[in-house]
Amino acid sequence: MTPDLLLSALAQTLRISVPYGLAAVGGALSERGGVINIALEGILLMGALGYVLGAHFTGSAWAGLVTAALAGLLVALVHAFVTVTCRADQITSSLGLNLAALGLSRFVLKEVFGSSSNSSRVAGLPQWDIPLLSAIPFVGPLFGNPLFLLAAALCIAAWFVLFRTPFGLRLRATGEHPEAAATLGLSVAKLRYAGVLLSGGFAGLGGAWLAADQRSFTDGMSGGRGYIALAAMIVGKWNPLGAVAACLLFGFCETLQIRLQGGALPNEFLQMLPYVVTMVVLAGAIGRAHPPAAVGVPYEAEAK
């Protein structure tokens, strides 16, 4: 294997992994606080739509990033309201939101762009010139991509926040034993809202990556990535850095899939790999993955 081939494969893996990583880390923050978030898929989609709308109406990619994050926050806000304030089932709420995102994005696509399949072309992200790093073949451009840098910074920051700050400790306590957090005067609802909203912002930016990469929105462009991110979060054992590692693994599988098109190994088997790996991990074959103890359980302050 030549260095060029390696570097280009690395670049492709990283590119593919950005939306996975943002969504998976977001999912970890939500679930660590005790709220299952299968709506990552819908949030990615709404984030992509948000980016295209923002960039379309202002002509600015920066505005697109902001609207993408806002779109993600909006979906997350609904999820938080339904599951934390109204205490409804988290899985069903997520699935409903995925459906809503699909319908809403198509609806908006038709109303704004008059098409049922794709938006018009919008601005892409600017390319910064970073000394030395930008000169690296293939991978260089990534270091000049502001969203790539932001994503990397956010994923690392998420780990520090979760495991090194009081907020992270409180969030984890809430996901493990909300009553314990409540008896120390912490607001379970606020913490859970925070976790869910963070996941919305993260995954919304993940959606922005998809749209910015392609400079347009296409119907259903999240394409199941939210579910892969969910899988990566599990394989990464609800740890942001673990989730990122799993995303890179899944991204690498996808790179192989694209590059080995028609090769000896049928493409579809590489396609299955993330899902199979996740099932194997859940089966306890590669160390047991324990979700936060109270994830999925609505918290009721005056339960009797």
How far from 297 is each of 36, 139, 210, 261, CA to CA, in Å? 9, 43, 32, 44
Cα–Cα distance measured from residue 122 to residue 212, given in angstroms and rounded to the nearest whole number: 8
The two counts, helices (H) then strands (E), for the chain are 12, 0
Find, among 14, 138, 150, the residue nearest to 69 by Cα.
150
With CB under 8 A as the contact rule, the residue among 106, 133, 141, 148 that binds another protein is 106
Helix (H) or strand (E) holding 111: helix 90-113
Indicate whether 241 belongs to the interface with another protein (CB under 8 A): no
Binds another protein by CB under 8 A, chosen from 2, 131, 287, 304? 304
Q: How far is the CB of 223 from another protein (least distance, A)?
A: 11
Token pair listed for 259: 């590059």
CB contact at 8 A, 174 and 301: no
- The stretch among 148-156, 205-213, 240-248, 270-278 that binds another protein (CB under 8 A) is 270-278
Counted residue by residue, the chain has a size of 304
21-50 residues in contact with another protein (CB under 8 A) are: 38
| 70 in Cβ contact with 204 (< 8 Å) | yes
Which residues from 129-158 bind another protein, rule CB under 8 A? Answer: none
Which residues, 6 or more positions from 13, have their beta carbon under 8 angstroms from its beta carbon?
A: 248, 251, 252, 254, 255
CB 78, min distance to another protein, A: 7
Of 77, 136, 149, 282, the residue at the interface with another protein (CB under 8 A) is 282
User: Counting contacts by CB under 8 A, is residue 97 touching another protein?
Assistant: yes
Site string for another protein, 203-232 (x = CB under 8 A): ---------------------x--x--xx-
Q: Is 187 in the site for another protein (CB under 8 A)?
A: yes
* Min CB(204)–another protein separation in Å: 18
With vertex at residue 191, the alpha carbon angle to CA 279 and CA 82, rounded to the nearest 5 degrees, is: 70
Residue from the set 32, 172, 192, 225 that interacts with another protein by CB under 8 A? 172
Name the site residues for another protein (rule: CB under 8 A): 38, 78, 82, 86-89, 91-93, 95-100, 102-104, 106-107, 110-111, 116, 160, 164-166, 169-170, 172-173, 176-177, 179-187, 224, 227, 230-231, 234, 266-269, 271-272, 275-276, 278-279, 282-284, 291, 293, 298, 301-302, 304
